Amino acid sequence: MAISPIVPGIKASIVVNGHKIAEYDDPNAQGQVVYKYVECVDNAEFKIHIHVTNEYRWNHPVTHGLNIRCWADGRLLTNDFILQDSLVDNEATMVVYGIRNVITTMGVATVQKCRFSPIATIVNATGDWINKGTAVIPYLGTITVEVRRVVQRRPAGPAEDARAFVSEEAMAGKSITHGTTFSPSMMETDVVSCPGDNNNPVATFHFRYRSRDALQQAMIIPGPH
């Protein structure tokens, strides 16, 4: 499991068949961004686990939540949130396993699960194929996780009267004491960057996935004896 070196309590890992796969340090990594190599197997489905432990300081510098963004090969998989009211024992885990597609006309959602797939190359490619390849190559073979601190905004304006009103005559002889009311409308993810962060991530992880042969050729793992 990759651990942020500057923000205690934020971890990320790649999971295949219910197991966290082995990670190998990138010998050229520098700075505070986490770079790891992982071995991939053809057509294996994978998930991204982001775990925030009770070591994390949810109240520093102010009470806040976290925005989690994940990409695979430069394609955004999720842009979601871990907010304080979703914590269990001051911890939280987010699992990203694919792209969700909402089909509004049918009112249902579908999921396209992530899987490691061998790259298919085109011989003598021209025009759009070359342009497309040039644009995507910098991101190929990389899973990225970014974590940002966010502050949830509250609705402006006066608070609404939250009592449930019914006639006294209708309640005569009944032991009912409470009803359900609703708060003023607000967006669940109406958040802004934590003060001082300028929308920059506080933790970033890059997982570079390669075949076993490629890892051996790059001397990330030992070759066959």
List the single range of 10-19, 123-132, 186-195, 201-210 with lowest mean pLDDT: 123-132
Give the C-alpha separation, 3 to 21, whole Å. 14
d(CA 193, CA 123): 46
Tens-place pLDDT, residues 138-183: 888 999 999 999 987 665 555 555 555 677 777 777 777 766 666 6
Residue 167 belongs to a domain = no
pLDDT the model gives residue 33: 94
Where residue 197 falls (left for φ over 0; alpha for ψ -120 to 50; beta otherwise) is alpha
Question: CA of 18: how far to CAs of 46, 80, 88, 142, in Å?
Answer: 9, 22, 22, 20
Range of the domain at 24: 2-155+183-217
Read off the pLDDT of residues 51-94 as tens digits, 9 standing for 90 and up.
999 999 998 888 899 999 999 999 999 999 998 888 888 899 99
Q: Is residue 225 part of a domain?
A: no
Q: Is 178 part of any domain?
A: no
pTM: 0.80
In a domain, 199, yes or no: yes
Q: Could you tell me the CA-to-CA distances from 66 to 105, 124, 140 in Å, in that order?
A: 32, 46, 26
The answer to whether position 164 is within a domain reads no
Q: Report the number of distinct structural domains present in the chain.
A: 1
Q: Distance between CA 69 and CA 199 in Å, rounded?
A: 12
